[in-house]
């Protein structure tokens, strides 16, 4: 079993890791010839299945295993990976290698950075006159320099960070299945997630404050999230003492691709919801704290399409831009968030 690669698109990789880490500390990483898939399945709350082309974050990679498609399954702690990627953000280069240290498997990240030699004595300007006192002082432009100043060089430094992993046997992961959800009734592009998160967090805090002193205070409030096929989105919190909502309009309902459907567009549930008018809403109830963690995916700065299965499920599709190539399409990284919904 072998895996080694150079890293690219490190900024996006770091943001993705941070978003996943807000939901759970451990991820299942599945590497193959063509695809890298990160899966987060907390004991409670929303699941994430993120897939990206191997050549989106890996450059010149080599992967080899005895499994079909050279598949390698790893249990990966997200916090050490996030720290290592932060260290690599401004590096010259960074590489990743699956190896062993003291008999235990690790992903070893080697980060190449530069360090500049400090100015030697004599390079500083004499302190007799304060800089800028004489506007005609040409000495600012033609200072005497120490010989070593012009010969100053940047030195490369290599930092190695080891991320402990656990290699998973194929039989261990074959029972982990991506959730199956019926066709959505409404699909809509969400407003800026920073704005949506701020309002959601405020609603959650208001609900917790209104429930103060009651047994309900021990549980996270449930937010009611609704959308229609006419560009409308509604966020509502209702308690015994509070009932408030926030509404967005003129949002985009993306067109469906007929080639991706199991039925004609005319028979799709979303078509029926569109025909039902602006008062025909699909609604789910989400845990306030879990929803806040899910919205941390906003740090990826991608388009987020929410798919509502009325009173059943909410799935978010996150399409992430490729920062290193402004001409690339936004579908390089696809994160599917399966948000846990609660009965009304």
What is 237-295 written as a DSSP string? EE-SS-EEEEEE-S---PPP-GGG-SS-GGGSHHHHHHHT-TT--EEEEEEHHHHHHHG
Same structural domain for residues 75 and 217? no
Same structural domain for residues 167 and 233? no
Tokens of 184: 């959505």
Q: How many domains are there within the chain? A: 2
Q: Is residue 61 part of a domain?
A: yes
Same structural domain for residues 79 and 193? no
Same structural domain for residues 46 and 109? yes
pLDDT at 164: 96
pLDDT at 48: 94
Task: Per-residue pLDDT tens, the chain, 344 aa: give them.
Answer: 999 999 999 999 999 999 999 999 999 999 999 999 999 999 888 999 999 999 999 999 999 999 998 999 999 999 999 999 999 998 999 999 999 999 999 999 999 988 765 544 444 444 444 444 544 444 444 454 444 444 445 688 899 999 999 999 988 888 888 888 889 999 999 999 999 999 999 999 998 887 765 555 457 889 999 999 999 999 999 988 889 999 999 999 998 888 887 888 888 999 999 999 999 999 999 999 999 999 999 888 889 999 999 999 999 999 887 666 555 555 457 789 999 788 75
Same structural domain for residues 191 and 318? yes
Q: Is residue 150 part of a domain?
A: no
Contact 70, 156 (CB under 8 A): no
CATH of the domain at 271: 3.70.10.10
Q: Which of 173, 199, 224 is the last residue of a domain?
A: 173
CA angle (332 as vertex; 13, 293 as ends), nearest 5? 50
Same structural domain for residues 225 and 319? yes
Q: Is residue 133 part of a domain?
A: no
Q: Is residue 88 part of a domain?
A: yes
CB neighbour burial string for 2-21, b if at least 16 within 10 angstroms, e if fewer = ebbbebbbbebbbbbbbbbb
Same structural domain for residues 330 and 200? yes
Q: How far apart are the C-alpha atoms of 301 and 290, rounded to whole Å?
A: 20
Same structural domain for residues 295 and 165? no
Same structural domain for residues 309 and 244? yes
Structural domain containing residue 30: 2-114+156-173
pLDDT at 170: 87
Torsion of CA 298, 299, 300, 305, to 10 degrees: 0
Q: How many angstroms separate the Cα of 227 from the Cα of each of 85, 184, 236, 322?
A: 37, 11, 11, 29
Q: Is residue 219 part of a domain?
A: yes
Q: How far apart are the C-alpha atoms of 98 and 106, rounded to whole Å?
A: 6
Question: The whole model's pTM is what?
Answer: 0.80
Same structural domain for residues 161 and 18? yes
Q: Is residue 123 part of a domain?
A: no
State which H helix or E strand residue 152 sits in: none
Contact 291, 223 (CB under 8 A): yes
Q: Is residue 136 part of a domain?
A: no
Q: Is residue 131 part of a domain?
A: no
Same structural domain for residues 219 and 312? yes
Same structural domain for residues 305 and 196? yes
What crossing angle do the helices spanning 78-88 and 10-21 adopt, rounded to 10°? 150
């Amino acid at each position: 079993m072998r895996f080694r690669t150079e890293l690219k698109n490190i900024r996006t990789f770091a943001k993705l890791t941070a978003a996943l880490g807000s939901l759970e500390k451990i991820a299942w990483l599945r590497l193959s010839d063509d695809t890298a898939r990160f899966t987060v399945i907390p004991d409670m709350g929303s699941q994430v299945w993120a897939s990206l082309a191997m050549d989106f974050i890996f450059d010149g990679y080599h992967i080899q295993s005895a499994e079909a498609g050279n598949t390698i399954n790893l249990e990966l702690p997200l916090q050490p990976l996030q720290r290592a990627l932060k260290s690599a953000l401004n590096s010259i280069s960074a590489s990743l290698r699956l190896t062993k240290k003291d008999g235990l498997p690790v992903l070893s990240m080697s980060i190449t950075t530069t360090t500049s030699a400090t100015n030697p004595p004599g390079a500083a300007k004499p302190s007799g006159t304060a800089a800028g006192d004489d506007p005609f002082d040409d000495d600012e432009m033609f200072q005497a320099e120490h010989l070593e100043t012009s010969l100053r060089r940047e030195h490369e430094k290599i930092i190695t960070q080891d991320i402990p992993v656990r290699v998973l046997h194929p039989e261990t992961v074959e029972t982990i299945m991506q959730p199956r959800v019926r066709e959505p009734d409404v699909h809509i592009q969400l407003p800026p997630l920073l704005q949506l998160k701020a309002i959601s967090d405020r609603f959650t805090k208001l609900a917790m404050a209104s429930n103060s002193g009651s047994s309900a205070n021990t549980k996270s409030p449930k937010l009611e999230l609704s959308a229609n096929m006419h560009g409308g989105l509604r966020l509502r919190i209702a308690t015994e003492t509070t009932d408030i909502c926030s509404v967005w309009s003129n949002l985009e309902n993306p067109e469906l691709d007929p080639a991706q459907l199991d039925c004609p567009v005319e028979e799709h549930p979303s078509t029926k919801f569109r025909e039902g008018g602006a008062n025909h809403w699909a609604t789910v109830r989400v845990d306030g704290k879990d929803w806040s963690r899910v919205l941390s995916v906003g740090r990826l700065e991608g388009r987020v399409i929410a798919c509502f299965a009325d009173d059943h499920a909410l799935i978010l599709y996150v399409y992430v831009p490729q920062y290193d190539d402004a001409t690339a399409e936004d579908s390089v990284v696809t994160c599917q968030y399966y948000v846990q919904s609660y009965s009304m």
